[in-house]
C-alpha cells in the first residue's frame, strides 16, 4: 500500500461545502476517486478532515457530477478513526478500473441552508445539528457573519443580515449562537458555533440573510473583478456590448463597494468559463440592484468570453456590523487593511 503526502481534499459540485464529489490533490492537480472500494469508513474520515460532522452517505456513480481530471485512486482502506485521508492505506496512484461515471462522493451531516426566502439565496439561516435542522439566534448576528454564510452557499455577498425572525422562527427553541465568524476567507464551518442548551434565544429571533446573487471574481479584492450573476443555479458572466458606467455604478452600489473607478469589456480579470447570461443591460445608475435594470433575455447574447465585462469599484469605505449594507461602523481601506 502507498501513502499520499498531500493533505488537500475537497468536495465538489454538491449543494454545499460538506457534500459533493470527492477530489484529492496530487502532483499539482486535482483528481477523483473510484467508487469500487469507497465506503462509509473512508467517507467518515473525509467529513472529519473537512470539519463537516459525520458521514451521512458514501456513494458512487458520479452522484454529483462527472470529474474531468485524472482518476487518482481505486480506493482507500480507512478504519474511520483517522484524522485525515493521508493516514489511510490506499491503492497505488493511477491504477484503477473505473471511468468518471464511477466517481465517488460524500454527504456529511453538518450542513447549512437558507429557508423561507424568495430564492435559495435568501432566508432563515439553519444548520444541521444533532440530527435536526436548527435556526441560528440573531444575538450578535451582523453583516460580517452574513457575508460568510452567503459565500458558503455560493450566493455572492450579503446585502442584509436580518433578525426578528424575518423569515420565520422555525420549529422548537432557538439554541444555537454563532460566535467569532468574520474575514474574507472564513468558511462557515470554521466559525464558532455554540449550543446554549436551556439558555435559548428567549427574547431574540432567528437570524436570516439576503444575498446578492452577484459577485466580482479574480480581482485584487472583493470590490474589483469580473462581474458574474447567478441564474438557474449557475454563475455566468455579462457581455460587454452596451455596458457602461451607469450599469457599473449599480453593481458597485449593490455590493457596498463605493463608486466606479474603471470598467472594462475585454476580460480584464480573465475569461469566465460558464454561461454568458446577460447582454444589453440598461441601468439609469440610480437602481439599488442590477435586477432592477432593463436587460435582454437571459442567455441571449452575441459575445464570447473575451468580452466578459469587469468593474473596479473604489471600495475604500465600508459599513461594518450593521443590519444591512447601508448601516454600521465606518471603516476605510488604508495600506490594504481596514
Task: Count CB atoms within 10 A of the CB of residue 333.
Answer: 15
Under 8 Å between Cβ of 199 and 184:
no
Of 18, 321, 10, residue with least CA distance to 147: 321
pLDDT for 12: 82
Return d(Cα 173, Cα 51) in angstroms, integer.
25
Cβ-proximal residues to 337 (8 Å cutoff; 6+ apart), any chain: none
Task: State the chain's maximal CA–CA distance in angstroms.
Answer: 64
Can you tell me the distance from the alpha carbon of 229 to that of 277, in angstroms, rounded to the nearest whole number? 8
CB 220: neighbour CB atoms within 10 A?
11
CB 141 within 8 A of CB 103: no
Report pLDDT for 324: 66
- Collapse the DSSP code of 231 into the 3-class scheme (helix H, G, I; strand E, B; otherwise coil) and give the result: strand
Three-class SS state of 148: helix
Per-residue pLDDT of the chain (338 residues; tens, 9 = 90+): 333 333 478 888 877 778 888 888 877 778 888 887 788 898 899 888 887 778 888 876 767 766 677 887 877 788 988 888 888 887 777 666 787 788 888 888 767 889 999 888 999 999 877 777 889 999 889 888 898 899 888 889 888 899 888 998 877 778 888 888 776 667 787 788 888 776 667 678 899 999 999 999 998 888 899 999 998 878 999 999 889 999 999 999 888 888 899 999 888 999 998 899 999 899 999 898 898 999 889 988 889 999 999 999 987 666 777 766 667 888 776 555 66
Give pLDDT, residue 318.
67
Contacts of 81 (CB under 8 A, 6+ apart): none
- Select from 3.40.50.150, 3.30.360.10, 3.40.50.261, 3.10.250.10 the CATH code of 214-317: 3.10.250.10
Residue whose cell numbers read 482518476: 71
CA angle 241, 252, 234 (to 5 degrees): 65
User: Residue 4 forms beta bridges with which residues?
Assistant: none
Cell of 307: 468580452
Neighbouring-strand partners of residue 208: 124, 162
Cα dihedral sign, 116-119-123-126: positive
Q: Which helix (H) or strand (E) holds 237?
A: strand 234-238
- Beta pairing class for 317-321 and 328-332: antiparallel
pLDDT of residue 233: 74
The reported pLDDT for the residue numbered 3 is: 35
What span, in angstroms and rounded, lies between the C-alpha atoms of 55 and 191?
A: 20
Q: Output the pTM of the full model.
A: 0.66
Q: What is the DSSP letter of 323?
A: S
Residues 6+ apart with CB under 8 A from 173: 200, 201
Taking alpha carbons only, the member of 150, 147, 236, 158 closest to residue 183 is 147
- Assign domain 9-108 to a CATH class: alpha beta
pLDDT at 269: 93
| Dist CA 279 CA 299 (whole Å) | 8
For domain 112-211, the CATH superfamily is: SRCR-like domain (3.10.250.10)
Decide: helix, strand or coil at residue 106. strand
Q: Where in the chain is the domain with CATH 3.10.250.10?
A: 9-108, 112-211, 214-317
pLDDT score of 76? 79
- Residues 224 and 311 sit within 8 Å (Cβ to Cβ): yes
Distance from the first to the final alpha carbon of the chain:
50
Would you state the pLDDT for residue 310?
Answer: 95
Amino acid at each position: 500500500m502507498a501513502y499520499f503526502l498531500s493533505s488537500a481534499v475537497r468536495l465538489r459540485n454538491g449543494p454545499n461545502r460538506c457534500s459533493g464529489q470527492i477530489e484529492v490533490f496530487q502532483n499539482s492537480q486535482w483528481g477523483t476517486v473510484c467508487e469500487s472500494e469507497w465506503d462509509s469508513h473512508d467517507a467518515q474520515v473525509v467529513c472529519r478532515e473537512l470539519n463537516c460532522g459525520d458521514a451521512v452517505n458514501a456513494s458512487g456513480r458520479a452522484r454529483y457530477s462527472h470529474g474531468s481530471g485524472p482518476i487518482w485512486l481505486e480506493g482507500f482502506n480507512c478504519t474511520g478513526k483517522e484524522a485525515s485521508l493521508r493516514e489511510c492505506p490506499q491503492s497505488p496512484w493511477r491504477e484503477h478500473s473505473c471511468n468518471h461515471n464511477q466517481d465517488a462522493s460524500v454527504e456529511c451531516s453538518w450542513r447549512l441552508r437558507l429557508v423561507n426566502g424568495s430564492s435559495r439565496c435568501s432566508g432563515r439561516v439553519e444548520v444541521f445539528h444533532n440530527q435536526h435542522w436548527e435556526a441560528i439566534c440573531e444575538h450578535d448576528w451582523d453583516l460580517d457573519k452574513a457575508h460568510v454564510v452567503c459565500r458558503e452557499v455560493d450566493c455572492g455577498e450579503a446585502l442584509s443580515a436580518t433578525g426578528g425572525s424575518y423569515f420565520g422562527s422555525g420549529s422548537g427553541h432557538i439554541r444555537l449562537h454563532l460566535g467569532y465568524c468574520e474575514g474574507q476567507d472564513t468558511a462557515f464551518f470554521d466559525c464558532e458555533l455554540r449550543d446554549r442548551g436551556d439558555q435559548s434565544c428567549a427574547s431574540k429571533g432567528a437570524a436570516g440573510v439576503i444575498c446578492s446573487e452577484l459577485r466580482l471574481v479574480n480581482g485584487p479584492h472583493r470590490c474589483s473583478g469580473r462581474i458574474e450573476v447567478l441564474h438557474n443555479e449557475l454563475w455566468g458572466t455579462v457581455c460587454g456590448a452596451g455596458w457602461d458606467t451607469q450599469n457599473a455604478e449599480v453593481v458597485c452600489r449593490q455590493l457596498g463597494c463605493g463608486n466606479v473607478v474603471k470598467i472594462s469589456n475585454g476580460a480584464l480579470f480573465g475569461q469566465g468559463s460558464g454561461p454568458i447570461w446577460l447582454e444589453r443591460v440598461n441601468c439609469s445608475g440610480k437602481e439599488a440592484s442590477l435586477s432592477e435594470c432593463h436587460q435582454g433575455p437571459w442567455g441571449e447574447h452575441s459575445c464570447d468570453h473575451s468580452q466578459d465585462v469587469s468593474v473596479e469599484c473604489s471600495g475604500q469605505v465600508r459599513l461594518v456590523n450593521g443590519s444591512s449594507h447601508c448601516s454600521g461602523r465606518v471603516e476605510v481601506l488604508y495600506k490594504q487593511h481596514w
